[in-house]
Amino acid sequence: MRVLGIETSCDETGIAVYDDELGLLSHTLYSQVKLHADYGGVVPELASRDHVRKVVPLIKQALADANSTMDDIDGVAYTTGPGLVGALLVGACVGRSLAYSWDKPAVGVHHMEGHLLAPMLEDNVPEYPFLALLVSGGHTMMVAVEGIGQYEVLGESVDDAAGEAFDKTAKLMGLDYPGGPRLAKLAEKGETGHYRFPRPMTDKPGLNFSFSGLKTFAANTIAKEPDDEQTRANIALAFEEAVVDTLSIKCRRALKQTDYTRLVIAGGVSANSRLRTSLAEMMKNLGGEVFYPRGEFCTDNGAMIAYAGLQRLKAGHTEDLGVKGMPRWPLDSLPPL
């Protein structure tokens, strides 16, 4: 089976073609970073309009790169949610219309299931069951995964997600959008020991996350300290260490609770090198293994949607002719395969 995947949940237009025998045949991505940079964050209406401009040319490019025509495509997958509803509807309308005109089945994909399955695009893939830490700009979730669609959400963010806290703190420091990667880059110049930030909710039982207070702590620290490059780097490092330690502590707690030995990290923040190093060292000490997608598949992309959609289509899951976008969509409400 060969599937065309379409991702338009936020500020990146991602298109890919995935074949269940040959693997990933093509993937194209257009980022709207420059479009939103002047505003310091994503403007939903501008994001939707840009998806309208880019989605069809990128589909043509992805099909050409995969040496495929509509006759070679066996199904179309597109992100239904969660995300910005206007952006979601662009991909859903185009994807469902293509499937109808090509007389092919279509399936809507859960954006976070796409991230969760992104490590399956690599050569070294995890076996089920495993623990998944999903960390992105909009979500921080700890999920016990028994199989595709067999998800138990063990914990999630009660306010700001980890990626959102990175971006907001970077903005407080005067860093350009997108701030998260720039804050991590600045932290590389930081010196340890100057600041100690709290590790939120690690002194309480449970696996939920809260990063809003950490952002406020960072704001107060920035306001009272000198505004020079080294001080900002030291603050950035202390903030990053706090986030990484918090995520690591929660992962260790969840692994003990589930008795799993495999950990998957995915989502935009999973590209953070300090987080990867910390979790890799932790899993080595525990005698387990950590899995994550390559950098280009950590952020939003069409490849993960094509892969997840292919699994759903092979199991017989299809959409009717209706088109919907779901800004909120609980991951654990998905049907198992």
Q: Beta-carbon neighbour count of residue 256 at 10 Å?
A: 10
Output the pLDDT for position 126: 97
Q: Beta-carbon neighbour count of residue 203 at 10 Å?
A: 8
First to last CA, the chain: 17
CA-to-CA distance for 277 and 37, rounded, in angstroms?
A: 30
User: Is 285 marked within a binding site?
Assistant: no
User: Is 137 marked within a binding site?
Assistant: yes
CATH 3.30.420.40 in the chain, residue ranges: 2-117+297-333, 128-292
Q: Which CATH architecture has domain 2-117+297-333?
A: 2-Layer Sandwich (3.30)
Q: What's the Rg (C-alpha) of the chain?
A: 20
User: Is 180 marked within a binding site?
Assistant: yes
User: Is 134 marked within a binding site?
Assistant: yes
Q: Output the CA–CA distances (angstroms, integers) from residue 27 to 204, 239, 317, in the order listed.
A: 43, 34, 23
User: Is 3 marked within a binding site?
Assistant: no
The top-level CATH class assigned to 128-292 is alpha beta
The torsion angles phi and psi of 218, rounded to 5 degrees, stand at -65, -40
CA-to-CA distance for 58 and 90, rounded, in angstroms?
A: 13
Question: To 10 degrees, the CA torsion angle through 106, 336, 305, 293?
Answer: -160
Q: Which residue has the tokens 């066996």?
A: 74
User: Is 138 marked within a binding site?
Assistant: yes
Q: What is the mean pLDDT of each run of 10 residues along the chain (337 residues)?
A: 98 98 98 93 97 98 98 98 98 98 98 98 96 94 98 96 95 92 97 96 95 96 96 98 98 98 97 97 97 96 98 97 95 96
Element at 146 (helix H, strand E): strand 140-147
